[in-house]
Structure 1
Amino acid sequence: MSTPANAASRPSPRREEILAATVRYVAEHNVSDLSLRPLAARIGSSPRVLLYLFGSKEQLVREVLAVGRAEQLALLERCEVEGGSARETLELLWEWLTRPERRGALRLFFEGYVRAFDRREPWLDFGTASLEEWLPPLERVLEGTGANATVVLAVLRGLLLDLLADGDGGDGDGDGRHAGRVHAAWRDFLDATLP
């Protein structure tokens, strides 16, 4: 099957459906090890259709990462609108980001972020773009508080990474034994930064 030059950029309901299914798939698996054959089998497609719709595996990965970044940014902007004070906004953001159903999306984000250190496609600008997207809304939220948006973002991401490292208790037993420590650390940070 030959791929028309613009097939990969043409929006279509089937393309959007496959992209959404791929996002769900990689939230459960490593995107770094993404292989088209098992992906296609799992989502009811074929490698040829994936290549026709997205042009290449790299382009598919880029779009999956873009969906994850857009979802996080939308969540941040929603918190900015609904949160109230800077403290309330950050509390709301933390509550949403740490919901169990978001664990796969967070894992995908951090995988993309770390892979961006290699400075190779499809991860090339993932980390930089994420910083450029998050810092302006955080600066707006924190305006007039004296808090530093870079510090807040670094602590937020560091604690989220710590929470992910805890997994289901670290040994698969489902108890999340370090989660309380991480949540308490976020509250302590807010107490010290936005009393």
Structure 2
Amino acid sequence: MGRHKQPEIRDRILDACVDHALTHGLPHRLEPFVTASGTSARMLIYHFGSRDALLRETLGRARRRQRDFFGELVAPRPGEPYPSTLRRAWQVMTGPSGRPYLTMFGRLREDAEQQLWPDFRRESTTDWLQPLEDGMRSVGRPELATLVLAVVRGLIMDIETTGDVPRADRAFDDFLAALVPVSDKTPAEPPEDR
């Protein structure tokens, strides 16, 4: 009688592979995942079927983690202006805790063949529209979700290409300032008579 697969072991192995991939990138061979999960290549194949199946599941779980993490960041908060929520979300996304996701999925987006996740480019765009639309609805402008997403994605690509985080941060702050309706801005002091 053969062994029965144990889902909790498979789940633990997959989490270890995701942790490794977020830190070091997707490996080309199974050995880094063997070391990270504390198991053997034979057990990885037993639980996942093939190297590519393991890589696909690793990417899928990492993406779910990212959606949960980033989704919570961009969710509107009672009593907080949504541009402030976006500013905080941007700082976390592009900071140390968010960068592993941006790096992993940036590389996947650049992969011309898209063999591991054929529809990733489309999904990685559309899955953020609803959370951003919900946030922008809180300021009465849900239709601007696409613009917000385009700016975020463009500046993230800029950071990945140039490494110039301060410039991207300034650009994002300028963008947020443009989102604040004129009625929400504090009126300027009238000029003094000379």
TM-score (norm 1): 0.77
Using the alignment, how far apart are the partners of 1:30 and 1:77 within structure 2?
22
For these two proteins, the number of residue pairs brought into alignment is 176
Aligned-residue offset at 1:133: 1.5
Using the alignment, how far apart are the partners of 2:45 and 2:69 within structure 1?
31
Partner of 2:169: 183
Q: CA RMSD, aligned part only?
A: 2.5
Deviations 1:29-81 (A, max 9, x none): 342x5311232134322111111111122221222222222122212331314
Decide which of 69, 75, 89 is 2:69's aligned counterpart: 75
Decide which of 142, 145, 151 is 1:149's aligned counterpart: 145
Q: Does 1:27 align with 2:13?
A: no
Partner of 2:100: 104
Q: Which has the larger radius of gyration?
A: 2
Higher mean Cα deviation, 181-190 or 68-77?
Answer: 68-77
Partner of 1:132: 126
Using the alignment, how far apart are the partners of 2:84 and 2:8 within structure 1?
38
Using the alignment, how far apart are the partners of 2:105 and 2:170 within structure 1?
23
Distance 1:182 1:21, change over 3 A: same
Using the alignment, how far apart are the partners of 1:39 and 1:50 within structure 2?
8
Equivalent position amino acid for 1:24 in 2: D
Q: Whose helix fraction is larger, Structure 1's or Structure 2's?
A: 1
Using the alignment, how far apart are the partners of 2:11 and 2:49 within structure 1?
14
Q: Is the 8 A contact 2:135 2:142 kept in 1?
A: no
Partner of 1:113: 109
Aligned-residue offset at 1:159: 1.4
Decide which of 58, 82, 87 is 2:83's aligned counterpart: 87
Aligned-residue offset at 1:138: 0.9
Unaligned runs of 5+ in 2: 182-194
Equivalent position amino acid for 2:28 in 1: L
Q: Is the 8 A contact 1:68 1:109 kept in 2?
A: no
Partner of 1:62: 56
TM-score (norm 2): 0.77
Deviations 1:111-158 (A, max 9, x none): 22222x5243x2212222222311111111112236622221121122
Matched residue SS, 1:100: coil
Unaligned runs of 5+ in 1: 168-177
Using the alignment, how far apart are the partners of 1:39 and 1:28 within structure 2?
12
Q: Is the 8 A contact 2:17 2:36 kept in 1?
A: no
Q: Is the 8 A contact 1:28 1:104 kept in 2?
A: yes
